[in-house]
Amino acid sequence: MEEVGTGLLDRLDAMQRVAASAPGGPLLIVAGPGTGKTRTLTHRIAYLCAELNVFPEHCLAITFTRRAAEELRHRLDSLLGPVAEDVTVGTFHALGLTILRENADAAGLPADFRIADDAERAAARSEAGDDQTGYIALLRKQDLVDLDELVSLPVELLQADRELVGRYRDRWRWIFVDEYQDVDAVQYELLRLLSPADGNLCAIGDPDQAIYSFRGADVGYFLRFSEDFADARLVRLNRNYRSSAPILAAAVQAIAPSSLVRGRRLDPARLDPEAPLVGRYPAASVAEEADFVVRTVDELVGGLSHRSLDSGRIDGRSTSLSFSDIAVLYRTDAQAAPIVDALARANIPVQKRSHDRLRDRPGVAAIARELRHANGLAGSLAARVRLAGQVVAERFAVPTLDGTVAGRPEDVRSAVELLTPLARRCGDDLETFLSQLATGAEVDALDPRAEAVTLLTLHAAKGLEFPVVFLVGAEDGLLPLRWPGSTPDEDAVAEERRLFFVGLTRAQDRLYVSHAARRTRHGVERDSDPSPFLGVIDPGLFERFGETEPRRPRDRQLRLI
């Protein structure tokens, strides 16, 4: 446990300290990438509890992904020690589930209601057709709720019962929301109900990293925070601790035409005069782009023939990098295959982040059902998962009377590698395990310590940082993404630019941006131009690699720069 006391805020810079120690009332922290948002948020909670005698059980910290919630929990544990357990930390879905469990009766649900799995949703959908209320009724008959209802049902409950609102406001007097720019209408409504307009709501985020409008998120809630919450205090964090000065300068120039933050500033805390420029590689083809990645990874990590030495040489300097320091980011999943193949051919280990939900994997729903029905199984939860898997696999191995099989035993076995880590994380608590599964635990084999190059979409890279980043496919049509022949509207292009900004700002020490002059998309190979987003970056920030002369960006329809 870190020392709590007067020294608690010593590890923050002046503005982070202002944010962490601000008095109660609505507080908006507008903070760019790499400015230490999570650090500030956790220190604020720790400071309030340790210095201002706020009870940890009065604190509610909300994030958008399970991974972010785990990270928050971990950092709070190390700052506050065991009392951190009393802080409620979770995603919006987990918060909604808690409220529903505590008020199942009032919501017209049985105490043991469950969240429908994909098979159950699909069955109800096909039976109900277009009839949404019909769909919900079918779920209810089986004591099921839809995942989307985890936030909307608590909102309905609270809207109808002011006394209940009062009870929750009394319980969670201090609310903290990370990545507030990603809030959608229903989540916002839940927050409004839980926090009075002059409440202790601390929202933190970066409008320039709002990249989820396709999922209903609305950055407008962030931008109107001061109107919605009375006398809101605003703190800006401008100091970036993550990226070298050239990387940061390129990123700041890239976002400028679409920035939603008035007077956006990001000052580099890192001022190494030796910092390399941003590498730019104009490739003739996708294969050549992949070769460039392989070659550079190889040079950085130390050459294929002497890989066991974990330091490479670039520009005559030792790099001491390992594969786990390197990430390759791309706009669409389809771009991963040629890079994965080329890295694999060179015997470079890779790990690719999956967006898939665990519950959608074949075999998972069957194992979950077996676990629920076979309460009597003995042993740890991980052991029970294995046993349930065996039972299901054996059942699948036997054809039914009409000769069909219910599923493939090998799918069930692979569903058991995937479920075991979650089972371990949940201790022996079956309910926690099943609700984590239902609310969206990811397959996510991504292990930050794995000795492998990480491949990620730009969306999945949000919040992460790597010493070396390759941003591949920086081409018109991929960044911004559009269907051949179509013209994206201005809002869509702005969101794509924010996504590009998110990608650039993942890099700590080295950033390489590449584009191919020919690429196959939607089954047709065609010429492609470099992304117009590159055109606003000072060419002096780039170091050019490769021979191919790139063509000038043609941002005809876009006219953004």
440 with 482: CB under 8 angstroms? Answer: no
Cβ neighbourhood burial of 256 (10 Å; 0-12, 13-18, 19+): middle
Question: In angstroms, what is the minimal distance from the CB of 78 to ligand ATP?
Answer: 13
Q: Least distance to ligand ATP from the beta carbon of 444, Å? A: 18
5 is in an annotated binding site: no
The region of 26-34, 67-75, 194-202, 384-392 touching ligand ATP under the rule CB under 6 A is 26-34
Each residue 190-209 as x (binds ligand ATP by CB under 6 A) or -, in order, gives: ----------------x--x
Q: Where are the alpha helices (DSSP H) in 426-489?
A: 430-438
In this chain, which residue has its C-beta nearest to ligand ATP? 36
If the CB atoms of residues 243 and 351 are measured against ligand ATP, the closer one turns out to be: 243
Q: Which residue has the tokens 């400015």?
A: 35
Bridge-partner residues for 285, per DSSP? 518
Q: Is 98 annotated as a binding residue?
A: no
Q: Under a CB-based contact definition with an 8 Å cutoff, are residues 154 and 102 in contact?
A: no
Q: Are 326 and 465 in contact (CB under 8 A)?
A: no
440 binds Mg ion (CB under 5 A): no
Q: Which of 12, 82, 3, 1 is nearest to 43 (CA)?
A: 12
Q: How far is CA 359 from CA 94, 224, 385, 418, 443, in A?
A: 16, 36, 14, 10, 9
- Give the binding-site size for ligand ATP (rule: CB under 6 A): 18
Expressed in angstroms, the distance from the first to the final Cα of the chain is 50
35 belongs to an annotated ligand binding site: yes
Q: Which stretch binds Mg ion (CB under 5 A): 88-96, 290-298, 343-351, 460-468?
A: 460-468
Q: Which residues between 463 and 482 bind Mg ion (CB under 5 A)? A: 463
CB of 346 or CB of 464, closer to Mg ion: 464
User: Which tokens hold the place of 45?
Assistant: 């909670």
Among 26, 34, 312, 480, binds ligand ATP (CB under 6 A): 34
Residues 231-250 that bind ligand ATP (CB under 6 A): 241-242
Peptide bond preceding 480 in cis form (omega within 30 of 0): yes
For 469, what's the count of Cα atoms within 13 Å in the CB-facing half-sphere?
29
Separation between Cα atoms, residue 231 and residue 233, nearest integer Å: 6
Site for ligand ATP in 471-510 (CB under 6 A): 505
Q: How far is the CB of 242 from ligand ATP (least distance, A)?
A: 4
Which backbone phi and psi does 560 adopt, to 5 degrees? -100, -20
Q: Which does 16 bind (CB under 5 to 8 A by kind): ligand ATP, Mg ion, none?
A: ligand ATP
Of the pair 26, 463, the CB lying nearest Mg ion is at 463
Site string for ligand ATP, 453-472 (x = CB under 6 A): ----------x-x-------
User: Token pair of 557, please?
Assistant: 């329809």
DSSP strand pairing (317-318 vs 200-205): unpaired
Residue of 8, 28, 30, 37 interacting with ligand ATP (CB under 6 A): 37
Query: Which of 206/475 has CB closer to ligand ATP?
Result: 206
Kindly list the residues in this chain that would bind Mg ion in the complex (CB under 5 A): 37, 463
Residues that constitute the known binding site for ATP: 31-38
Kindly list the residues in this chain that would bind ligand ATP in the complex (CB under 6 A): 12-13, 16, 31, 33-39, 206, 209, 241-242, 463, 465, 505
